[in-house]
């Protein structure tokens, strides 16, 4: 599958088959995150891969009770180890860099026939406790991964002319 097809097919999946994700597929998804660009090449990410059912269920509780998080056979906690670097434009790097890495993983998962759902609704301190993550590290996202048990339709998108201008704002 080419990148444009993966972009078009990616959906937020909230129902997963009770089927194990093969190691080689998971390795390719993780490699996509590893290869993502980052500001100053900091590569400030660390990905905690969770397969243990009990731990996944506890992560689901920490994700405001979103049970599907624990039903996915894999959950990745995307973490940032450098949290104080600010780019010249005034933005912290870690939320942007981790977003790029996680997006690479979602597209790689789509190319592998896997579903994902970007989770930002979680209690960070609880996730840190469950996964024994040090206090100075930030958990940016949870990413459940598995074989989809649903095929959601594409969500509506704005027209290109509503979001793109050339040369100046207006």
Is the pTM here over 0.85, yes or no?
yes
Helix, coil or strand: residue 133: coil
In this predicted structure, what is the pLDDT of residue 116?
98
Question: CATH top-level class for 3-148?
Answer: alpha beta
Whether residue 1 has pLDDT greater than 90: no
In this predicted structure, what is the pLDDT of residue 65?
97
Question: Two tokens at 70?
Answer: 């624990």
**Model pLDDT for residues 48-105, shown as the tens digit of each residue:** 999 999 999 999 999 999 999 999 999 999 999 999 999 999 999 999 999 999 999 9
Q: Are 122 and 88 in contact (CB under 8 A)?
A: no
The mean per-residue pLDDT over the stretch 14-38 comes to 98
In this predicted structure, what is the pLDDT of residue 117?
98
- Domain map of the chain by residue range? 3-148
Within the chain, strands assigned E span 45-50, 74-80, 115-116, 138-146
In this predicted structure, what is the pLDDT of residue 142?
98
Helix, coil or strand: residue 43: coil
Give the mean pLDDT of the chain.
97
* Dihedral of alpha carbons 30, 32, 38, 43, sign: positive
């Amino acid at each position: 599958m080419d990148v444009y097809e993966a972009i078009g097919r990616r959906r937020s999946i909230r129902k997963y088959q009770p089927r194990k994700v093969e190691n080689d597929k998971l390795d390719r998804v993780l490699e996509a995150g590893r290869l993502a660009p980052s500001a100053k090449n900091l590569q400030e990410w660390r990905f905690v891969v969770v397969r243990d059912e009990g731990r996944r269920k506890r992560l689901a509780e920490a994700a405001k009770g979103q049970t599907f998080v624990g039903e996915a056979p894999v959950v990745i906690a995307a973490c940032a180890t450098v949290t104080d670097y600010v780019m010249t434009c005034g933005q912290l790097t870690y939320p942007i860099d981790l977003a790029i890495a996680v997006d690479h993983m979602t597209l790689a998962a789509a190319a592998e026939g896997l579903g994902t759902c970007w989770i930002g609704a979680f209690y960070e301190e609880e996730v840190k406790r469950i996964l024994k993550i040090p206090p100075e590290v930030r958990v940016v996202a949870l990413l459940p991964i598995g074989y989809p048990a649903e095929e959601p339709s594409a969500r509506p998108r704005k027209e290109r002319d509503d979001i793109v201008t050339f040369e100046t704002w207006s």
